[in-house]
Amino acid sequence: MGSNLKHIRHLYARAGFGLRFEDLRQVEGLSVKQAVDLLLAQADRVDDASIIAGNINYKDFLMANEGTKKMFLQEQRQQEKALNIDWVNKMSTSNAQLRERMTLFWHNHFACRTQNAWYAQQLNNIQRKHALGNFKTLLLEVSKSPAMLQFLNNQQNQKNHPNENFARELMELFTIGRENYTESDVKESARAFTGWGFTKDGEFKARPALHDAGNKTFLSQTGNFAGEDIINILLDKKETARFICNKLYKNFVNETPSAVHVNAMADVFYSSKYEIKPLLTYLFNADWFYEEKNIGNLIKSPVEFIVGLNRQFYITYQNPDVVLQFERALGQVLFYPPNVAGWPGGRNWIDSSSLMYRLKIPSTVLNGGVIDFSGKVDPEDEAFIATTRKQKEAVTTKVQATVDWDRFTANIPAKASPLAIAQTILNTGLSAGLTNLINKSTDTKAMVIELVSTPEYQLC
């Protein structure tokens, strides 16, 4: 693989959900810069989530009888599931993959849980709409969304009894980061957000009667601040640009941030008044983004892993519960982060059981759980292989997934060698063992299944 193609593969691994053979056809002959432009242009398209048709008011149901309440809870669970699957499908099929990838980033940055699927969808659409837009607009809309107001208890944040939950997380996790504010800043800014709440129809509402209109001293400034003022003061601090860029760097470049590169990103971000698109354009065109140490050394998040597999093999699930099961087993259920800090990521994705799941899932979906391989086997293995073959049909029935092998195969360039195929699917270098395995294989499909069942495939 030429270095240009290698860099484009790296770009797609990070700015999207992995390079498909179909994409390979599209980018052949493009420079890296042109490929970045292509991804950015494709990201212009915004496909709102719309699967949840309307808001169900919880309070009406609490007053209803037991039977209705039960139906309501069932409906609520159905909706949560539908919203989750709808987004996985969107990520798996959309051409605006950079927008979806960034939506996923903001989904984790502004981690939030709500049982109300309508609110969750609203927040998801805010994050999608502004995924490459302006960070301040994004932050304001997120802060005013019922999902977040509810999750961080700002609905209960009132003049005489401030609730500090939102104010604290706003600084610690959403903007400026630890070490840059004091406990007193938390208390004072909480007062500025008093009265921010939402109506039962899911509309933001500032309630003046509950707002503390007194003077507040926040980050050494004093005034009768409202919530918007606090956000302005936070964004005036360059630490906020640095904090966001540091997080982006760890997500898109390397888990060990380089202060020099993060500062360069922060300069771009701050001077463009927190516009996200110029920042990403800078990042994906930076030479250092393509340095060897930054290639193939990030652990895919479970959703990136599942979506990447779906995209490469055009997988559709007849039973969406299967996708949810994967998310659960791998430790990343969309719309259900462990806490407001989101998923910690990196090596935290991997422990004994999640790794074994990750190694098993591709063959389960693609081939009824069977990995055909050409290595030597002992009698115990023969028994294992015989069992998996016998169970193949049962597994396939259970998983209920359709794989478009024809489309996958048709997009592989006719003259591509097995090694070239392998090098498109895996983002890492190929070890001697893997090269050996690739050279031994006589069947493309079997080889591909072997490749996606490796530790190497977990990396992007």
Partner 1 sequence: MKRRDFLRNSALASGAFLIPSFLKPLEAMAINNLSGHKNLVIIQLSGGNDGLNTIVPYANDIYYQKRQTIAIKQPDIIKLTDLQGLNPNLGALKEIYDQGWMSVINSVGYPNPDRSHFRSMDIWQTGSDANQFLTTGWIGRYLDSNCSTCQHPYTAIEVDDTLSLAMKGGKMKGIAVEDPGKLYQATRNPYFKQLINEHAHSNFNEDNLGYLYKTMIETNASAEYIQQTSKTYTTNSQYPQTPFANQLKTVAKFINSGLKTRVYYVSLSGFDTHTTQQNQQGRQLKIYGDAVAAFVKDLKQAGKLDDTLVMTFSEFGRRVEQNASNGTDHGTANNVMIFGGKLKKQGIYNNAPNLSQLDNGDLKYEIDFRDVYATLLDKWLDVNNSQVLNKNFSGLGFV
Rounded Cα distance, 103 and 125, in Å: 9
- Measured from the CB atom, is 115 or 163 closer to partner 1? 163
- Write out the two tokens for 175: 């903007």
- Three-point CA angle 185, 248, 33, nearest 5°: 145
Residues that bind partner 1 (CB under 8 A): 153, 156, 158, 160-161, 163-165, 168, 172, 178, 183, 296-299, 328-329, 331, 339-341, 347-348, 350-357, 359-360, 371, 373, 375, 377, 381, 384-385, 388, 428, 433, 450, 453-456, 458-459
Closer CB to partner 1, residue 91 or residue 298?
298
Which DSSP category does 429 fall into?
Answer: P
* Residues in a beta bridge with 198: 204
Residue 72, class by beta-carbon neighbours within 10 Å (0-12 exposed, 13-18 middle, 19+ buried)? middle
Task: Give the nearer residue to partner 1 in terms of CB position, either 232 or 436.
Answer: 436
Min CB(142)–partner 1 separation in Å: 19
Least spacing, CB of residue 296 vs partner 1, in Å: 8
227 vs 331, beta carbon nearer partner 1:
331
Question: In DSSP terms, which residues pair with 216 in a beta bridge?
Answer: 223
Q: In sequence order, what E strands does 94-229 have? A: 196-198, 204-206, 216-218, 221-223
Shortest distance, CB of residue 166 to partner 1, whole angstroms? Answer: 11
Q: State the nearest-atom distance from the C-beta of 179 to partner 1, in Å.
A: 9
The minimum distance between CB 351 and partner 1, in angstroms, equals 4
Give min distance, CB of 303 to partner 1, in A: 15
Q: Which two tokens stand for residue 453?
A: 């069942």
Task: Kindly tell me which of 113 and 277 has the beta carbon lying closer to partner 1.
Answer: 113
Query: SS3 string of 56-105?
Result: CCHHHHHHCCHHHHHHHHHHHHHHHHHHHHHHHHHHHHCCCHHHHHHHHH
Minimum separation from the CB atom of position 114 to partner 1 (A): 14
Q: Which is nearer to partner 1, 264 or 355 (CB)?
A: 355
Whose Cβ is closer to partner 1: residue 355's or residue 420's?
355
Q: Extract the tokens encoding 231.
A: 């956000």
**Shortest CA distance to 79 belongs to which of 127, 104, 108, 116?**
116
